[in-house]
Structures are given as C-alpha cells and as structure tokens.
Homo-oligomer: A and B are copies of this chain.
Amino acid sequence: MQVNSHNESELDLCGRAVETDGMTIQAPAGRENQKQRTRTAIIDAAREIIRGSAEVTMPAVAKAALVSEATAYRYFPDLVSLLREAIDGTFPSPAEALAPVEESDDPVVRIAFATERLLRHVQMYQGAVRAVISGSIVRSDSAAIRPGHRFGLIDHALAPLDATLGRRDPAALRQLKQDLAVIVSAEALFTLTDLCGLSPDDAVASAMHTARTITAAAVASS
C-alpha cells in the first residue's frame, strides 16, 4: 500500500504528446505511466521481501505489490528475471562502489576492495541471490543471463593495468579477469560458507586473500 504512494503524482502528467520519437506521433499517455507504476510496485515489493530474508515467491511478491500473480508474470517472464532486476537496483555502479579506493592505482588494493564490496552486498541479499543462481544454473537457455556485476567491478578495479599489463600481454590480462570472475563471485561466497563452513566474515576475508594473490601473481609475472 505504501509501496507506490510516492509515485502517484506522476498520474497527472497524462496526455502530453511526445514528438521526440519521430515516427511515434501517438501519445503514450497515462497508460505508460500506469505501466511504469505497476512495474515499480512489483519490483519494490520484491525488494521489500528480499530484505526480510524470507523466501521469495511470485505469489508473495504479487500480494505485497497488490497486483495479481498474472500481472506480475506479464511484466516479468519469470521469478528469476524479477529478482535479477530487483537486486540490480540495489547495486551501485562500479565507479561508485570503488570510489573510496579511486585514489589508489594498485590493482591489488583495488581488487581486494571490490571483492569485499561485492561479497558483502551478496551476503545482504543472500536469499534473492541464491534464488537467482538456483534458477539460472539449471538451464542455459534464454534469459538465463545473470547480471554481470562482477565484470564491471573487476574491469574497473583492474583499470590501472590496461596501460601496463594490458598493453604488454593482453592474454594475461584476460586470464586474470577470468580468474577473478570465479573468485569475486556469489558462488565463491556460498562455497566458502556452505561447504567450507566459514563464517560470512571469514569467507569474505578468504576470497579477498585469493583475489589479492591471483592479482599480485599476474602483476609480478610481467
């Protein structure tokens, strides 16, 4: 109920025409706003449930968003897509996430920070992330593409290497990024906590260590 109360003012904007599209002289009036509000309400509801660390189901999200389950499926092909978008919205951009370490050009320092950022965020939205991985891993068919938070983060953290290692040995840089894609990941976090039995903090620390080691080794061999 309070989910979309702050969006209601947008309802007034109905009827204005958009000629910027060139072709489309049709006025995408309040209908578009309505759809936008519905979509937002669903994502907000999903995010709400995610935070509560409760089990996320489509019926629960629909009920919380005050829409029917059918409508939820009209906006998102499946639960995983919904959760993916809901999680995406909580993520800062790579630049924002790595701002505190922007002054440093040491890739080892930067990648360690990126690892901690990513894993702590994953831990916070554990339930949803687990659900997304669970759903994505079973079929590599369409729409199974997971968001590449890690890639943006890794690229940004390793930016200082573009001019050095990247120019000297592009293949080595590519390999480093693949190494890190495995380590700086939700899967790594869950492996360390679920299988190795580490506490969340220890798991994050362990992954940071691994990321540092790999990065340092790549830099050193140049």
Contact = CB atoms under 8 A, between A and B. Distances in A.
Quick one: copies of this chain in the complex?
Answer: 2
Contacts of A178: 192, 196, 198, 206, 210
Interface stretch (A32-40, A89-97, A129-137): A129-137
Interface stretch (A11-19, A41-49, A68-76, A183-191): A183-191
Contact of A146 (B192, B195, B213): B195
A209 interface: yes
Size bracket, chain A contacts: 35 or more
Given A130-B137, A138-B134, A217-B213, A182 B175 contact: no
A28 interface: no
Contacts of A188: 182, 187
Contacts of A179: 206, 209-210, 213
Contacts of A136: 194
A181 interface: yes
Given A140-B193, A210-B214, A216-B217, 19 more contacts: A130-B137, A133-B134, A133-B137, A134-B138, A137-B137, A137-B194, A151-B195, A178-B192, A178-B210, A179-B213, A181-B195, A182-B183, A182-B191, A182-B207, A183-B183, A185-B187, A187-B191, A213-B214, A213-B217
